[in-house]
Amino acid sequence: MAHSHCHGHDHDHSDAEETGIQYNLYQKIDKENLECLNETVEGSGKSVFKPWDKRLDRENFVESDADEELLFNIPFTGNVKLKGIKITAEDSDTHPAKLRLFKNKPNMTFDDVTMEPDQVFELQKDSEGVLEYSPKIVTFSSVSHLTMHFPTNFGADTTKIYYIGLKGEWTPGHRHGVTICTYEVRPNLDDHKLKNLDSVSRQIE
């Protein structure tokens, strides 16, 4: 019995480690160009994209300024297949109540958020990072830029977020078009010569 109990404990521990490994897309964010609009402290929005084991860290957080809205423009260093999102905040009215996602629309502002989002989540209060929101795989299978818009919270004047976790698969960005059109040149020239010869022989006849 003792052995089976021990095995169960190890299993739980490995599950937590596995979740931490899966939520590693923060490493694939172009932090230099990551942008958070309406943050009280400049640059604080970048601090919520951190390792899984730091999700309960209360020292680094972002808080909205003029009202309850926050807007994140998140460029990735390659292409991402987004599979999961976790939001950790206070168990209070400052917790965001809704998340609107936009795919591959860089440099969005609050003027742009009136457009139809690619997906909307009604959020529940989560101070432990236990809830996971699942983006539509078909829609978010090739994401180079993700915009996250938090339009409302549960009634407070400002919104506060401690952790945003992103789970998925990352692949390097591809560069096309370098050698595709070169090998066709020679056959086209040959065709051209043949046509010219053909027209000359017809004229002689």
State the average pLDDT over residues 20-25.
90
State the average pLDDT over residues 143-159.
98
Identify residue 127 by its one-letter amino acid code: S
State the average pLDDT over residues 31-51.
97
With 90 as the cut, is the pLDDT of residue 63 above it?
Answer: yes
With 90 as the cut, is the pLDDT of residue 193 above it?
Answer: no
Residues in the chain: 205
* Domain chopping of the chain, boundaries: 2-175
Q: What percentage of the chain reaches a pLDDT higher than 70?
A: 77
Contact 143, 104 (CB under 8 A): yes
In this predicted structure, what is the pLDDT of residue 174? 65
Which two structure tokens, joined as six digits, stand for 184?
């066709």
When mean pLDDT is compared across 29-33, 157-161, 171-175, the lowest value belongs to 171-175
With 70 as the cut, is the pLDDT of residue 192 above it?
Answer: no
| Distance of alpha carbon 97 from alpha carbon 91, whole angstroms | 12
State the average pLDDT over residues 178-186.
44
Quickly state the pLDDT bin for 197 (edges 50, 70, 90): very low
Quickly state the pLDDT bin for 12 (edges 50, 70, 90): very low
In this predicted structure, what is the pLDDT of residue 189? 52
| Distance of alpha carbon 46 from alpha carbon 57, whole angstroms | 14
The CATH number that domain 2-175 falls under is 2.60.120.470
In this predicted structure, what is the pLDDT of residue 188? 54
pTM of the model: 0.78
Q: What percentage of the chain reaches a pLDDT higher than 90?
A: 74
Mean pLDDT of the chain: 85
Q: What is the CA radius of gyration of the chain?
A: 26
Q: Which whole-number Å values give the CA distances from 152 to 73, 118, 130, 146, in the listed order?
A: 17, 18, 21, 19
Q: With b meaning 16 or more CB within 10 Å and e meaning fewer, what string describes 134-156?
A: ebeeeebbebebbbbbbbebbee
